[in-house]
């Protein structure tokens, strides 16, 4: 029997995110892509370029969730140690993947050829398969439930594109939004009561400040369309009772 819900963890690897030098774009990108695959991103860890810290995060998340993704640390330089860390986590050797080597030889043919650094990008944990990279040659790596991807967001995007439709997902998580210039603190009791009455739904409340006024968008999520619609109907009823104007779809 198919499991109803599939989950994923993400390990974002790189000192540059933790130093504030680079604003991470991969969490949102991977999160949005997973939604479309009907897989829920359950946890993210951002870790530095330190092998044992990466090993710890990889082992914790690969065992907790159906899938694990990593971004960063698969380039040609000395601080790119994701392959070594994953091999250590899995207890396997690092080997040169012949197809990856061939891809890199072709890619660098008119750019000075392979050298020691470039050859690093053909290294995989033993047993790894390749994730195509149409942008810059060096492939990502798939091994077991792990998917090692680049850190540069547009290259990551290409790898996600190559993985689209290849992972088994569960039932889609449906969502409906309603919003308005409604202070969440004036409707918190009703939100809680509506959520309690609809056990197959979760309601998230997302406040904002705009045009000099406070407001909120309320997002209801469920895998069950009928449950979602019933919850949405009751929430709108409560908002009307309280005298609030609201917009389906959110504002």
120 lies in the binding site for its own copies (CB under 8 A): yes
Of 167, 170, 221, 223, the one binding its own copies by CB under 8 A: 221
- Around Cβ 222, how many Cβ atoms within 10 Å? 23
- Nearest alpha-carbon partner for 100 in 126, 80, 69: 126
Least distance (Å) between residue 127 CB and its own copies: 25
204 lies in the binding site for its own copies (CB under 8 A): yes
Q: Which stretch binds its own copies (CB under 8 A): 89-97, 111-119, 164-172, 240-248?
A: 111-119
Number of chain positions touching its own copies (CB under 8 A) = 69
54 lies in the binding site for its own copies (CB under 8 A): no
22 lies in the binding site for its own copies (CB under 8 A): yes
Least distance (Å) between residue 168 CB and its own copies: 20
The nearer residue to its own copies, 1 or 77, going by C-beta atoms, is 77
Of 52, 79, 99, 200, the one binding its own copies by CB under 8 A: 79
The distance between the two most distant Cα atoms of the chain, rounded to a whole number of Å, is 71
19 lies in the binding site for its own copies (CB under 8 A): yes
Where along the sequence are the contacts to its own copies (CB under 8 A)?
12, 15-25, 27-29, 31-35, 40-49, 53, 75-79, 108, 111-112, 115-118, 120-121, 136, 152, 154, 175, 183-189, 191-192, 195, 202-209, 219, 221
């Amino acid at each position: 029997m198919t499991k109803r819900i599939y989950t994923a963890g993400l390990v974002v690897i790189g000192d540059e995110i933790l130093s504030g030098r680079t604003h991470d774009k991969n969490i949102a990108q991977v999160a949005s892509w997973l939604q479309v695959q009907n897989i829920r991103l359950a946890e993210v860890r951002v870790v530095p370029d330190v092998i044992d810290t990466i090993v710890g995060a990889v082992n914790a998340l690969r065992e907790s969730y159906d899938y694990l993704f990593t971004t960063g640390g698969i380039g040609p330089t000395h601080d790119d140690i994701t392959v070594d860390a994953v091999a250590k986590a899995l207890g396997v050797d690092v080997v040169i993947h012949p197809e990856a080597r061939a891809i890199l030889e072709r890619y660098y043919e008119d750019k000075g050829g392979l050298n020691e650094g470039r050859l690093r990008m053909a290294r995989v944990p033993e047993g790894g398969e390749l994730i195509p990279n149409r942008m810059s040659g060096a492939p990502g790596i798939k091994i077991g439930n792990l998917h090692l991807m680049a850190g540069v967001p547009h290259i990551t995007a290409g790898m996600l594109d190559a993985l689209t439709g290849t992972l088994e997902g569960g039932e889609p998580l449906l969502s409906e939004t309603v919003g308005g210039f409604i202070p969440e603190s004036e409707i918190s009791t009703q939100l809680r009561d509506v959520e309690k009455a609809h056990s197959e739904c979760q309601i998230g409340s997302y406040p904002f400040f705009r045009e000099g006024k406070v407001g909120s968008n309320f997002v209801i999520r469920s895998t069950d369309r009928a449950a979602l619609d019933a919850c949405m109907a009751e929430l709108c009823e409560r908002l009307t009772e309280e005298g609030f104007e609201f917009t389906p779809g959110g504002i």
